[in-house]
Amino acid sequence: MSQFVSFFSYTDTTWQKLGSTPGDRPAAVEAVARKLGGSVVSLHYMLGPYDGMVITDLPDTCAAAAMSTVAMCSGAFRQMHTHALLTPDQLPQILELSRLGGDSFQAPGSA
pLDDT of amino acid 106 = 83
pLDDT of amino acid 101 = 87
50 Cβ neighbours under 8 A, 6+ residues apart = 7, 8, 9, 79, 81
pLDDT of amino acid 79 = 97
Which sequence spans correspond to the domains of the chain? Answer: 2-101
Half-sphere exposure of 57 (CA within 13 A, CB side): 7
Give the CA-trace dihedral at 14, 16, 18, 21, to 10 degrees.
-120
Predicted TM-score (pTM) of this structure? 0.87
Residue ranges of the chain with pLDDT lower than 70?
A: 111
| Fold type of domain 2-101 | Alpha-Beta Plaits (3.30.70)
